[in-house]
Amino acid sequence: MTCPGPSSNAPPLCFEVRGVTRVFGTGTAAVRALRGVDLDLPSGEMVVILGASGSGKSSFLNILGGLDTPTSGEVRFRGQDIAHADQRRLTDYRRRHVGFVFQFYNLMASLTARENVALVTEIAEAPLRPEEALAMVGLEERLDHFPAQMSGGEQQRVAIARAVAKQPSVLLCDEPTGALDSVTGVRVLEALQTVNDNLGATTLLITHNAGIAAMADRVVVFSDGKVSKVEQNRVKRRPGEISW
């Protein structure tokens, strides 16, 4: 489906996606993960991406993040082509513009929260101090704790702080609450909302949990490798108002 073009009063587009396909394998073993995706995503929005397992959500997120390239189609980030970029350009794009948050935290067990975040700030152009990033997600009292000394929700918030410490333009989150209970998950969503509010990063959040869609500016539903529906929330709920 093709989204209507932005109006003159609309924010500039962060991503423009046209006719994107992604095929894994060849011949009879080929898997068509994406089957012609068209989508415009304005800058600064909180976008929730819904869909069943195998609907193409993660494949789409990987392409936006420069971790993969489409089999065909066009992807533009702020007007720049990333669909046909070489690996050097994609590495630079990821380093300068993209923060990633995954379901599993991938923290270094031998490093404190502060040190885990500092790993990113050492390679970023204009990073936040680790202390600033951790304070943004409510962990200013846990700077010198190791992952084993923190709960799952706290570890996920360290992972968010690590992702945002380089002040990315885009924050991509793949099931960040998938391994958490609802109370802990709300704390993680509050951290993501704070980052979106304070840094203005375009934030895409993949989830199986339809209730989380209430906190989004825009909800994108994937089905069978395509965008089946795009909705905008006139009234957004705060994470504390969401239950699942």
Tens digit of each residue's pLDDT (9 = 90 or more) over 51-90? 999 999 999 999 999 999 999 999 999 999 999 999 999 9
Q: How far, in Å, CA of 221 to CA of 55, rounded?
A: 9
User: Which positions ≥6 away from 217 have C-beta within 8 Å?
Assistant: 45, 46, 47, 232, 233, 236
- Per-residue pLDDT tens, the chain, 244 aa: give them: 444 444 456 668 999 999 999 999 998 889 999 999 999 999 999 999 999 999 999 999 999 999 999 999 999 999 999 999 999 999 999 999 999 998 888 899 999 999 999 998 887 778 899 999 999 899 999 999 999 999 999 999 999 999 999 999 999 999 998 878 888 888 889 989 998 998 899 999 999 889 999 999 999 999 999 999 999 999 999 988 887 6
Widest distance between CA atoms in the chain: 55
Q: Show Cβ contacts of residue 119 under 8 Å, excluding neighbours closer than 6 positions.
A: 108, 111, 162
Element spanning 172, H or E: strand 170-174
Q: Exposed (0-12), middle (13-18) or buried (19+): which is 123, by Cβ within 10 Å? A: exposed
Angle (CA) 175 182 103, round 5°: 20
> What domains can be seen in the chain, in order of their start residue?
43-67+96-239 (3.40.50.300)
